[in-house]
Structure 1
Amino acid sequence: MTRSAAEALLAGNRTTLAAYEAKHFGWSVDAGVATITLNRPERKNPLTFESYAELRDLFRQLAYATDVKVVVMHGAGDNFCSGGDVHDIIAPLIDLPMPELLLFTRMTGDLVKAMRHCPQPIIAAVDGVCAGAGAILAMASDMRLGTARSKLAFLFTRVGLAGCDMGACSILPRIIGQGRAAELLYTGRSASGEEGYAWGFYNRLCAPEALLDEASKLAADLAAGPTFAHGVTKKMLHQEWSMSIDEAIESEAQAQAICMTTRDFERAYRAFAAKSRPVFEGD
């Protein structure tokens, strides 16, 4: 394959998502920051079969997006997300046979996989109710900002299901610890914003009226950074869960050496030498 043919092939895999028209949630892109708005406020922003699938597909596309550097996810109104819609999802599931049920649970798990594997950092801005699958969306994000009135609840046991949904038994203990995760997953009780912050689920608490602005400001700061390197950081944070210390150190050595070949690394040095602030471009 010639170089021009290779470049054409790679160019065909790249995409821009600023003009993407979401059907089941709000979507916008501004200066490299994408905002996802779960926008069914009259029902506390529950998920449907369609929104699950569209979110999964969108996060998969983000792996190839050239115009999105950070993602902010929040809910319209005073709540983040109440989980799977009781009428649109739970009621139909009761009548489905096992093969179709497994298709559904694998599809919801694929959403979390897509969130963890897209290179962009994801910031969840969590106000009010954050329950069930909504709690999973927040958990699967890279950072979480909350409010004092945030109510975090993994409700699966309340509907006769196990707490091991969409990676919760793997990811949640790594965020808040095994005992605290076990309590939430066994009991299904709500954790307050103060509890979530004290346990490390939330990076910080904000006033409700300032929450989205704070999340957007954090996202803009990240978008102005070395975004290729941010993608490597996200990859290693995820990948090193299953590594020994020696394997992790070697993997990080290789990852850092790769980052040292980027133009952003050179820009940072030249800016330091000139006593100026580097302007990163993500390459």
Structure 2
Amino acid sequence: MKKFVATDYVPRHFQWEVVGKVATLTLNRPERKNPLTFDSYGELRDLFRELRYATDVKVVVVTGAGGNFCSGGDVHEIIGPLVGMQEAGDMPGLLEFTRMTGDAVVEMRQCPQPIIAAVDGICAGAGAILAMASDMRIGTPRTKTAFLFTRVGLAGADMGACNILPRIIGAGRASELLYTGRSMTGEEGERWGFYNRLVSPEDLLANAQALARELADGPTFAHGMTKKCLQQEWSMGIAEAIEAEAQAQAICMQTRDYARAYRAFVGKVKPVFEGN
């Protein structure tokens, strides 16, 4: 059976730290507000794909260095070359790029570990997508989140935004952000449900990692099943969804964690979950 040891992973384009069962991925180009490049997109896609096979990491925190989350695709290293492809009539090359960026979101949604985005400052373009694709988001009052695609002549439909964003904040609000490209303030983001909560910039990473540790100490097999159901039930009717959840619960009832929880309840102690 294939295995991926997350504690041994050495990234090329961002920081990666594993403490206990929690990994923290830090976009680390603070002088440019942490933009993405062709290579960092590809590495993010590949890492989240490999995390399906990791047993040592149970939750991932994604954040940015230097008081900002991510300013999107690097203007010089991505947008410039893409304009060159357009001028050369390289439609296959453009499609290869857009499919690669979309695959990063697919892998984030399909890896079993919950992903928590810790977002401060600028969260724009592809950065807003990375936050959107996470399972939970913690922001700060100074966070500015913008789906900028129409500002550069592109559709708001990028990397799953038209599918995922309306499910988080509602169709009307998503439409406003995707059509206008305007920034959503931290307060708006919390009120609309994009951010689970706002904390001070100084407390952001510690808050996200504390939540991650809480989840990592829980029934992590069941968390993975919850994430799977949240993902696959988007396209189901209610009867299909109830059947899928019946199957999910029957599977979880076969885990040792289920029995551990029962025995802890009987013994009036806190359960200690082991993820199996």
TM-score under structure 2 length normalisation: 0.98
Give the drift of 1:173: 0.2
User: Which residue number in structure 2 is paired with residue 254 of structure 1?
Assistant: 247
Instruction: In structure 2, give the amino acid aligned to 1:282.
Output: G
Give the drift of 1:224: 0.1
User: Which residue number in structure 2 is paired with residue 263 of structure 1?
Assistant: 256
Specify the SS of the correspondent of 1:240.
Answer: helix
Give the drift of 1:95: 1.5
Cα deviations across residues 174-202 of structure 1 (Å, max 9, x unaligned)?
Answer: 00000000000000000100000000000
1:1-283 correspondence runs (5 A): 10=1, 13-96=2-85, 97-283=90-276
Specify the SS of the correspondent of 1:278.
Answer: coil
TM-score under structure 1 length normalisation: 0.96
Report the Cα distance in structure 2 between the residues aligned to 1:48 and 1:20, rounded to whole angstroms. Answer: 20
Give the drift of 1:14: 1.7
**5+ long unaligned stretches in structure 1:** 1-9
Provide the identity percentage: 73
Give the drift of 1:19: 1.4
Specify the SS of the correspondent of 1:35.
Answer: strand
Specify the SS of the correspondent of 1:63.
Answer: helix
Instruction: In structure 2, give the amino acid aligned to 1:261.
Output: Q
Give the drift of 1:15: 2.0
Instruction: In structure 2, give the amino acid aligned to 1:183.
Output: E
Q: RMSD of the TM alignment (CA)?
A: 0.4
Specify the SS of the correspondent of 2:6.
Answer: coil
**5+ long unaligned stretches in structure 2:** none
Cα deviations across residues 140-196 of structure 1 (Å, max 9, x unaligned)?
Answer: 000000000000000000000000000000000000000000000000000100000
Give the drift of 1:207: 0.4
